[in-house]
Structure 1
Amino acid sequence: MSDFGHTDFGLEDLPLRDDLRGQSPYGAPQLTVRAVLNTNENPYPPSPRLAEAIGRAAAEAAAGLNRYPDRDAVDLRRALADHLGHGLDAANVWAANGSNEILQQILQAFGGPDRTAVGFEPSYSMHPIIARGTATGWVSVPRTARFEVDAADAVAAVKEHQPSVVFLTSPNNPTGTALPLETVEAVAAAAPGVVVVDEAYAEFRREGTPSALSLLPIHPNVIVSRTMSKAFALAGARLGYLAAHPAVVDALQLVRLPYHLSAVTQAVARTALEYADELLGAVETLRAERDALVDWLRAHDFEVADSDANFVLFGRLPDRSEVFRKLLEQGVLIREVGPPEWLRVTVGTPEEMALFRDALLTATGRA
């Protein structure tokens, strides 16, 4: 009889890939504290009216759960295209379980052994993790001291490494930095493969900041990735999507698992899109709270990265781990991520931000 609790059996006894040995899984702490400000969620939940509408949609979907869902999620993709505009239709859009699955499918289709992906770091930590999981080589190119992507350096890196996938983020996580379209265009023109512009936080950008969606008719190798987890306040629904040339969507269907997007998820996402104005109603409030937080941090002599997202990267803290711990002791959870001496805080409600400000002053001895 097997002994699943046998203490002498571990990862080292499994035929795990060598490149995965010694690695740690992605994970942000999930703790019950007074202010959860570590995963860039929208702090404002769906209204009771919307929750009821989502419940009805889920109940209708549940009545047919004995059947597989629409394998290609055509109605949802059509609704997402209508939401994005830019002349897109269902053939330009693909959806999956969160933007991470979108990124994974991109690397499954265009990455793999003997292929390379390039990213500009510090940036989203899942990009190299997903690259490793798909056996894709990873090349990290440093950002500038202001956390920007230098267009000339980016083009030079692309020409040197000839990647099949390039990751650009706008706004960037964890720094909040938005990219000029000229930088995306320069990289797209030089890249031999696809250029993924991760716009998970696009809705939080300042008014007038353009999206890479406008480049799709000009650069068919550009892919714009989005999510409903952030501004749409649907992190628990797990719905990510992309817009690209129809040929890219066709390619992703070669690697997607059959029926990967449940009928319930599709129904919830379609319903949320019908309430887009309501769900996105908190964006302006969060932008204002973000800008006020940046001003407050700078007034208290913290260094702050310019942010176009719903979070702020601040420093410099000689012992950031100690500051993180002292904040947590006061019931405030933020994120120890990014370059040394920096911490990232998600913009929450006014009450949560008041807790954060008081706790930070105490944690850094500035109270």
Structure 2
Amino acid sequence: MKSLQDLVRPELRGQTPYGAPQLDVPVAVNTNESSYAVPQEVVDQITRDVTKVAASLNRYPDREFGRLRGLLAAYLQRTTGEPVTAEQIWAANGSNEVLQHIVQAFGGAGRTALGFTPSYSMHPLISGRNGTTWVDGLRDADPTRFDIDGDLAVEQTKRHDPEVIFLCSPNNPTGTALDIDVVRRVYDATDRAIVVVDEAYTEFARPGTPSAVTLLPGRERLVVSRTMSKAFAFAGARLGYLAAAPEFTDLLRLVRLPYHLSSVTQAVACAALEHTSTMLAMVEQIKTTRDELVAGCTELGLQPVPSDANFVLVGGFDDATATWQALLDRGVLVRDVGIPHHLRITAGTPAENHAVLQALSAVTRGDDR
């Protein structure tokens, strides 16, 4: 008799589920969540709005999430200066589901997705588990550099001729922003690939960093994905979205599950978007602690990568895995992303930052010995 492992789809055999450690520790700075609670005035608005929809939960939600799309379009237009309409917006339960819709619609068996690693680990997972062949592209000929070399990206795009291309800006786990000209060049290097720019951390970028939303006009194969999990401190709400040509978002209806965004999810997200200024006030605080984390790590003789995200990739560890454990033993949970000699650390509150730097100082001095 065959086992369930024999019966599961071939591309899933022997695989392990995605997941970051969820441990009860004093300082958890491993998953790039916001360390700041949702402001009380927004909590109050959410409570009122969810109460309003609670009595109608016997009915299916608005399948087209019209009000939410309008608020997301207005937010993008206000923050990027680019006209964006509700018809250009798509949303789902977290940006991972948004990315999955893209792969379901444009990837699949016999098709290829290209990404430039190290980058967001869910890009290859979503691709592979939807039957799409993943190509692990190079960011730079020098593996110690984390920026994308435009010439190399264009060459790989032409050589592999993929159906889907993933770019990430600011990149996770390196925190580096992408030169917007690279997006233009990669898009122009192919006449069939869907080019996805993952901007999950874009609100944390340093001043003068343009969004790929500004490139959308005239580019029907370009997609910009975003999330409310990071800058909006909404990781628990599970709301991601994208902006693209209306014709593109219309095609995603072919793969979405019926009524995929609940009435509660829509109400919660709309409440937050109606208080955008309040929600995003935390972003400047996080950018300050991020820069202080960079400075503190530099003073310790470590090698932090300049970051445009809400985290810092820190290099200079002889043994990253051993350092990860030593920090955990001191109550500090960071992320080992598999890059030799590097660990990723989320910028938390000032108190969390202080605890991280104290623990790093102790570990790098060898106090644990």
Which bracket does the TM-score occupy, shorter chain normalised? over 0.9
Contact 1:119-1:139 within 8 A present in 2 as well: yes
In 2, Cα distance between the equivalents of 1:74 and 1:140? Answer: 37
Residue 99 of structure 2 is aligned to residue 103 of structure 1? yes
Alpha-carbon distance between aligned partners in 1 of 2:3 and 2:230, rounded to the nearest angstrom = 37
Matched to 2:169, the amino acid is S
Does the CA contact (< 8 Å) of 2:98 and 2:241 recur in 1? yes
In structure 1, distance between residues paired with 2:364 and 2:278: 38
Structure 1 CA distance, aligned partners of 2:138 and 2:23?
Answer: 32
Per-residue deviation, 1:9: 9.6
Match of 2:139 in 1: 143
Q: Check the 8 A contact 1:174/1:338 in 2, yes or no.
A: no
1:3 aligns with none
What is the aligned-residue identity percentage?
52
Check the 8 A contact 2:91/2:240 in 1, yes or no: yes
CA distance in 2, matches of 1:174, 1:78: 31
Correspondent of 1:26 among 3, 18, 21: 18
> For residue 33 of structure 2, what is the aligned residue in structure 1?
41
Deviation, 1:319, is 1.3
SS in 2 for 1:237: coil
- Secondary structure at the aligned position of 1:195 is classed as strand
CA shift for structure 1 position 142: 1.8
CA drift of 1:316 comes to 2.3
**SS of the residue aligned with 2:365?**
coil
- Per-residue displacement from partner, 1:269-328 (whole Å, max 9, x unpaired)? 001000110000011111111111111111211112121000000112221111111111
The answer to whether the 8 A contact 1:170-1:202 is kept is yes
Instruction: Give the whole-Å Cα distance in 1 for the aligned partners of 2:218 and 2:306.
Output: 29
Alpha-carbon distance in 2 for matches of 1:340, 1:11:
35
Give the secondary-structure state (helix, strand or coil) at the position aligned to 2:23.
coil
Name the residue aligned to 1:174.
173
CA distance in 1, matches of 2:218, 2:317: 44
Decide whether the 8 Å contact of 2:302 with 2:315 is kept in 1. yes
Whichever residue aligns with residue 76 of structure 1, its letter is L
Which residue is 2:331 aligned to? 331
The aligned residue for residue 299 of structure 1 is: 299
Q: Which residue identity lines up with residue 347 of structure 1 in the other structure?
A: A
Separation of aligned partners in 2, 1:171 and 1:362:
30
2: CA distance, partners of 1:356 / 1:212: 33
CA distance in 1, matches of 2:314, 2:365: 16
Matches within 5 A, 1:1-367: 11-12=4-5, 15-85=7-77, 86-144=82-140, 145-191=144-190, 192-365=192-365
Q: Which amino acid aligns with 2:165?
A: V
* CA-to-aligned-CA distance 1:147-186 (integer Å, 9 cap, x gap): 0111111111110111110000000000001011100000
What per-residue deviation string (whole Å, max 9, x for no partner) do you get for residues 69-106 of structure 1? 01111110011000100211110000000000000000
- Conservation of the 8 A alpha-carbon contact between 1:189 and 1:219: no
Distance 2:327 2:352 in 1: 12
Q: Do 1:123 and 1:338's aligned partners in 2 also have CA atoms closer than 8 Å?
A: no
Unpaired runs of at least 5, structure 2:
none
Q: Return the letter of the residue paired with 1:154.
A: A
- 8 Å Cα contact 1:200/1:230 also seen in 2: yes
Q: Describe the superposition over 1:2-40 as per-residue Cα deviations: whole angstroms up to 9, x where unpaired.
A: xxxxxx99643x511122111111100111111110010
How big is the shift at 1:364?
A: 2.2
Deviation for aligned residue 1:50:
1.1
Looking at structure 2, the residues matched to 326 and 255 of structure 1 have their Cα atoms a distance apart, in angstroms, of: 45
**How far, CA to CA, are the matches of 1:230 and 1:258 in structure 2?**
27
State the secondary structure of the residue aligned to 2:223.
Answer: strand
- C-alpha separation in 2, matches of 1:61 and 1:228: 21
Counterpart contact for 1:146–1:305, Cα < 8 Å:
no
Find the aligned partners of 1:120 and 1:178 in 2 and give their Cα distance.
Answer: 13
Long gaps (5+) in structure 1: 1-7
Q: TM-score, normalization: structure 2?
A: 0.95
Instruction: State the number of aligned residues.
Output: 359
SS in 2 for 1:364: helix
- Alignment correspondent of 1:4: none
Letter in 2 for 1:70: D
For residues 38 and 168 of structure 2, the distance between their equivalents in structure 1, rounded to whole angstroms, comes to 27
Query: In structure 1, what is the Cα distance between the partners aligned to 2:233 and 2:253?
Result: 27
RMSD: 1.3
Letter in 2 for 1:66: N
Q: How far does the alpha carbon of each residue in 1:225-256 deviate from its partner, in whole angstroms, 9 at most, with x for none?
A: 00000000000000000000011101111100
Q: After superposing the two structures, state which structure 1 stretch, 167-176 or 333-342, moved more.
A: 333-342
4+ residue segments displaced more than 3 Å: 8-11
